[in-house]
Amino acid sequence: MESSWEKVKLEMKQSLPDHSYRMWIQPMGYLESGANVVKLSCPNSFSKRRIRENYLAGLEAQFKKLGCADTKIDLMVEVAAGKKKPAKKSSAKAVAGKTRTKAAAGAYPAVSAAVPRRTNRPRQMTLPGLNLRCDSGRMLKKGYTFDRFVVGDNCDFAYSAALSLAQNGSSNNGALYLLSDTGLGKSHLSQAVGHHVMSQGFSDKVYYVTAEDFTNEMVSALKDNTISHFKEKYRKKCDVLILEDVHFLSGKDATQKELAMTLDYLLDAEKKIIFSGCYLPDEIPKMNEQLKSRLTLGLVTKIDTPDFKTRVKILKNKSGYNGYVIPNDVTDYLAQELCDNVRQLESGLMGVARKGALMGEKIDINLAQSVLSTIARNRKAVTVDSIKKLVCNEYSLSEQELVSPSRKKRVVKPRQVAIFLSRKYTDQPLKKIGRSFNRYHATAIYSINAVEKQLKQQGIFSEQMNHLYRKIESGKLR
C-alpha cells in the first residue's frame, strides 16, 4: 500500500498547482494500512484540517483509480521524534506569575508576545526584558488564527504562503508582503502568523505594530534619547516583525531609512517579517528606493474579493463562532447581496442576528431584506460625486475649485478630505478616485495619509470629520 501512496502523490503533483502540492501534499507521509484504511501523517493540526476539507476526496479518488475502491484515509498528526516535553506545570505557572507581576508593575511595554504553550489560543502577555518608556505594539486579536481564517480561491496562495512562513522553525525564513484592499483579511492572516509562532513555541519575541506605531515610537525614542534601546529592540530582540499599513510611511524619510536598516538586520539573521498594505511599494509616493527593495525582497501575494462560495463559508464560520442560528437561505441571501469585503459580510450578519434577537422576530429572508435595504440604500446614495457636493457645501467651495490645480490651503484641505471620504465610503478604486479629482493615485494616497495623520490629533478637525461621517451615514448628503 505504501507504493500505492507514492503513486497517488505523483498523480496529485501533476493535477495540483505547484505551490498547493508543495504546501499540503508533499509533507504528508505514509504510516500504516489495514482493513481498507490507510493512515497518513500530517505535520500539524492546521494541515490536517486543510487537507480534510480540500484534498481528502481527491486523494481517495486517486486510490480508487489504482483499484483500491473501498479505501478510506485516516489523517493523523505525527509527533516529531525527539520533541521536547513541555515544562512542568509548577515551573510554568511560576514563570507566568512572575511575568504577570512585572507586567502589572508597568515594567514592560505593551507588545505582543506570549509564554510558549502547546495550544491554539496563546495567552497574550508583555514581552520581558525591555524597559522602554515608549510603549509600542498591539495585542494580537484572539480570533485571528489560521483555524479561523476561511480559505477560498481568492486567498489560497496568500494563506499557504503565510502558513509556510509560520511553520518554518528558525532557518530559511524570509519576508512576506500581504496586499489587499481594506476588509479582505490581511490583518487576520498576518496576525495568524504571530499566533502560530507563539503557540508552537518557536519564539515569544513577536512584535505586531502598525507603520504609524513604529514611526511614533521612533520619534519618542529620539526625543527621550533612548534611540539605542529602540534599535536594539527591533534589530536584536525581535524574531518576528509584523508591520501593518506600510503606506503610512509615505514621506517619512528618517523612519524609512531606520526601517530599511532594521530589515537588513532581521533578514541577515533569518528572522520572519510580515508586511501588509493596500498598495504595492512601487505605488506608495515618497518612498525611498532602499526601503522599496526591502519590502519586495520576499514574496508579494494578493488577497482578492471572495467569491460567492467563499462568502457563504465565511458567514457560516462566523455564525458558528458567535452562536448565531442563521437558516441556509438567509446565509445564501447575505452572501449574494454583500459582495464587497469581509467586514461588510460581518456587518450584515450581525445586523440580522441582533435585529432578530432584539425584536423577537424569526430570522428569515424578510428580516434580512429589511436589514440589508438600509445598508444598500446608504451605499447607493454615497458616490464620489455626492461626496464632492457635500464637501463643497461644507467648505463653501465650487466643484470647479475642488478639482482645479489650485494649491491654496482653502482648496487643498477640502480636496484631501473629499478624497479620504471617497476612499472610506465608496467602492471605487484609488486610481479612479484620483482621476475624479484630476489627480494621480499617488497624490490620492498622500491625501489620505494627510487626513489620517491630522485625525490622530483629536482636535477640531476630528470633530469636523465626525460631523461629515454622520451626514454621510444618515444619508444627508446635501
CATH pick for 308-381 out of 2.40.10.10, 1.10.8.60, 1.25.40.10, 3.30.1700.10: 1.10.8.60
Q: In angstroms, how far is CA 451 from the centroid of its own chain?
A: 23
pLDDT band at 377 (very low <50, low <70, confident <90, very high): low
Tell which residue, 271, 260, 248, has the closest CA to residue 176.
271
Query: How far apart (Å, rounded) are the C-alpha atoms in residues 109 and 112?
Result: 9
The pLDDT of residue 379 is 57
Backbone angles phi, psi at 323, to 5 degrees: 80, 20
Helix, coil or strand: residue 214: helix
Who wins on pLDDT, 85 or 217?
Answer: 217
Q: What is the pLDDT of residue 417?
A: 93
Confidence band of 120 (pLDDT split at 50, 70, 90): very low
Stretch(es) of the chain classified as CATH 1.10.8.60: 308-381
* CATH 3.40.50.300 fits domain 107-302: yes
Region 432-456 average pLDDT: 85
Q: Which residues contact 69 (CB under 8 A, 6 or more apart)?
A: none
CATH topology for 2-77 is GMP Synthetase; Chain A, domain 3 (3.30.300)
Confidence of residue 376 (pLDDT cuts 50, 70, 90): low
What pLDDT is attached to residue 378? 54
Distance of CA 42 to the CA centre of its chain: 26
Between 98 and 377, the higher pLDDT residue? 377
High-pLDDT (> 90) share of the chain, %:
9
User: Helices 384-395 and 460-473: crossing angle, nearest 10°?
Assistant: 130
CA triple 98-88-129, angle to 5 deg: 30
Residues belonging to the chain: 478
- Mean pLDDT, residues 24-31: 86
Residues of the chain with CATH 1.10.1750.10: 384-473
Exposed, middle or buried: residue 15 (CB in 10 Å: 0-12, 13-18, 19+)?
A: exposed
Give me the sign of the Cα torsion angle 349, 351, 356, 362.
negative
What is the second-level CATH architecture of the domain 384-473? Orthogonal Bundle (1.10)
* Average pLDDT score, the chain: 79
Ranking 4-8, 9-13, 279-283, 352-356 by mean pLDDT, the lowest is 279-283
CA separation, residue 166 to residues 162, 242, 271 (Å): 6, 12, 11
Q: Where in the chain is the domain with CATH 3.30.300.180?
A: 2-77
